[in-house]
Amino acid sequence: MPHDRSRRPGELVFVILLLLASLWLFWQSVLISGFSGLSTPGVFPMLASGVMVISALWILRDTAKRAPDGGGISRFVEQITPLRQVVMLGLVALYVALMPWLGFVVASGVFLIATISFLWRRNFFLTVGISALALGVIYLIFRVAFQVVLPRGTLLQGLF
Amino acid sequence: MEILGFLTLSWFDPSLLFLTAAGTMAGIYVGAIPGLSVTMAASILISFTFKWDVNEALALIAGVYMGGVYGGSRTAILLNIPGAPSAIATAIDGYPMAKRGEAGEAIGLTTVMSVFGGFVGILALALFAPFISKFAIMFTSRDYLLLGMIGILLVGTLSGESFAKGAFAGALGVLIGMVGLDPMTAEGRFTFGTITLMGGIPYVVAMIGFFGVAEAFVQIHSLDLPVIRQKIDRIIPHFSDVKRYFWLALRASGIGTIIGALPGTGGDIAALLAYDDAKRTTKDPDVPFGQGAKEGLIAPEVANNAAVGGAFVPMLTLGIPGDAVTAVIIGALYIHGLKPGPLLLVETPHLFWFIVGNLALANIFLLIFGLTGIKVFTKIVECPKAILIPLIIILSSVGAYAIQNNPVDIYWMLLFGVIGYFLKTYGFQVGPIILGVILGPMMDSNYRRAMIGARGDIGTFLWDFASHPISLVLSIAFLLMLLSQTPVWAALKSLVSRETNLSDQ
């Protein structure tokens, strides 16, 4: 086991969360068919979640042994969830949430322009041009050539 | 004669020929562009191609796989950024060569040698798969359960930060695979009373989430890496070089094929082992290793392409994927209603020979595309990640939606993407998760069949593992692997090394 590095920011909390999730999943597995037999549908989920609980305990032991990171919440935000990540996550969440309403083409167009201008910060018209080009190519390849069904929005029903 | 017809099916059919070529071409770029992985591309492609004819889908995916494994080497040489994990070893000597102005030569040599390795792997597939498959017919449910566990264990131990993290990821994957109605009794598992979850979580969605979206979020961290440009001149390698490194390439092909064929280990490990082997066996290289030795460039590249053919062996004969990409391809086979396993060669031999022929064809295209268009290539790889990342997210969403035309799948994808981001950040690997999702249901049904066969008696069940030769061998292999991860093993090893040291003196 390598002990040469200190904990990553938030690592201990994350591992504890994993352990709690594993315990909850184990409990859910027990609920499937209890301990009524050895070939019931619940046995394998119990085995799998049991492995999760044991390995999570093991990981917790290893993580606890490491030197704490010592940076607190600010270090966590800086390294694990910097603003760029959070904003991107928000944009992606917005994108998938609005897609059924706006439709694939409009939602993706807006998403591309928003994310590329956020991450790239160049000329706005260049961003729009690249977005339009990329979207056009995606549409041609997938909708026209591959015949993939793309989500259509309720807002512009039938149009996109 | 019949076999020959299946073998060359894609060689003479214009549309299959085109798809293989397009797949190989696309694969090279996907493999080369840091941030895009073959696994990512293959999982997205499956969702697009599942309505196609199986031959066409396989032609495209085989091309992407073949091209992608190779493509990683280009960015490794040109930018010192391995485009794929299997090219990590390539960068060690490839980049110093490029810095000396020999980038073109390095790429040319890599291409020719990769194709050589690819052919050795394919040959091994054609020769050994029918033999292994005959043997695998004797496998019982127990053995499949063991094979599944060995596969996940291997991926977990070899790829992650620690064994416990690999085991956790594998078990998590198995559990994701369990969601939905139990296929044996139609009881709900983890459905929480909702209809949405009864059909289970499509594994392609899990793949796209963990490989595509999670990776995109990880990539945001490295947005600002500077781009380095290289001079490209001579590309066709000297014949004397090819001749000189023939034996090295042959040995690396052997390593690649065998490592590729082991369930759970793929091109990345094969490449590292071959590099290590080349380093140990090359007595006096012209240039020291790590400073641009051609041996160090050739060995890993030959091995990772040989591993492609090797990885198909357990996948087609046992239904056990060799690595993450073959895990995705196995998903493609299931989607097309095929059951990879010992009966695949008996029931659908045409498909097996088609795959072999198609891989060979993709390998030929690799040679063509590998030696041409490198100048255009350098321009495309410089595509800023700020544009690439939003595109990955859009492609992933289209892929997740395309499987069942269900927007809920896109939400799943995002959830897996976020979980995957945190798991990756804290040193977990997502490979074992995907292997678990795919192998979980197979292991579950085989476990229960074996248990029912033992009449529900735990004693009989366990005794069966020891009393049947195949099961015994696999059980021992499994236990040894497990043991090798515990402190007991380390203690034993230090004891043995101390004794040998003593006897040496």
Instruction: Find the domain containing B496 and state its range.
Output: 460-500
**Residue B301, domain member (yes or no):** yes
**Residue B380, domain member (yes or no):** yes
Kindly determine whether residue B175 and residue A48, on different chains, have CB atoms separated by under 8 Å: yes
From the number of C-beta atoms within 10 Å of its C-beta (0-12, 13-18, 19+), residue A81 rates as: middle
Percentage of chain B with pLDDT > 70?
A: 92
- pLDDT tens digit sequence for A2-32: 445 788 888 899 999 999 999 999 999 999 8
- pLDDT tens digit sequence for B155-211: 776 656 788 898 999 999 999 999 988 888 888 888 888 888 888 888 778 878 887
Residues B330 and B468 in one domain: no
Decide if A52 touches B, using CB distance below 8 A: yes
Q: Sign of torsion, CA A145 A150 A156 A157?
A: positive
**Residue B357, domain member (yes or no):** yes
pLDDT given for residue B229 in this prediction: 62
- pLDDT tens digit sequence for A113-137: 999 999 888 888 899 999 999 999 8
pLDDT average, residue stretch B286-303: 88
pLDDT average, residue stretch B355-369: 93
Collect all residues of chain A within an 8 Å Cβ-Cβ radius of residue B171. 48-49, 51-52, 55
The strand pairing partners of B362, in sequence order, are: none
Q: Sign of torsion, CA B490 B495 B500 B504?
A: positive
Residues B366 and B466 in one domain: no
Q: Is the pLDDT of residue A153 over 60?
A: yes
Residues B372 and B493 in one domain: no
Residues B449 and B464 in one domain: no
* Domain limits, chain A: 11-79, 83-145
Tokens of B23: 């797949």
Closest residue of A to B223, CA-based? A119
CA distance B244 to chain A (A): 41
Judge contact between B179 and B205, C-beta under 8 A: no
pLDDT average, residue stretch B288-298: 87
CA distance B297 to A37: 56
Residues B429 and B358 in one domain: yes
Please, how many CA atoms are within 13 Å of residue B426, restricted to the half-sphere of its CB? Answer: 28
Q: What is the count of structural domains for chain B?
A: 2
Q: What ipTM is given for this predicted complex?
A: 0.91
Residue labelled with tokens 């039938």: A158
**Residue B505, domain member (yes or no):** no
- pLDDT tens digit sequence for B134-171: 877 788 888 888 888 887 877 776 656 788 898 999 99
B167's CB contacts (< 8 A; 6+ apart) are A51, A55, B153, B156, B432
Residues B162 and B252 in one domain: yes
Decide if A142 touches B, using CB distance below 8 A: yes
Kindly determine whether residue B189 and residue A18, on different chains, have CB atoms separated by under 8 Å: no
pLDDT given for residue A2 in this prediction: 44
Residues B401 and B346 in one domain: yes
Judge contact between B249 and B117, C-beta under 8 A: yes
CA distance B285 to A144: 53
Q: What SS3 class is residue B180? A: strand
Q: Please state which of the ranges A108-117, B158-167, B297-306, B357-366 shows the lowest mean pLDDT.
A: B158-167
Residues B465 and B436 in one domain: no
Residues B446 and B495 in one domain: no
Kindly determine whether residue A38 and residue B461, on different chains, have CB atoms separated by under 8 Å: yes
Closest residue of A to B437, CA-based? A48
Q: Is the pLDDT of residue B271 over 90?
A: no
Residues B342 and B362 in one domain: yes
Residues B82 and B231 in one domain: yes
A3's CB contacts (< 8 A; 6+ apart) are A65, A66
CA distance B352 to B346: 10
CA distance A156 to B339: 42
Residues B412 and B471 in one domain: no
Question: String of b and e for B298-323 (b: at least 16 CB within 10 Å)?
Answer: bbbbbbbbbbbbbbbbbbbbbbbbbb
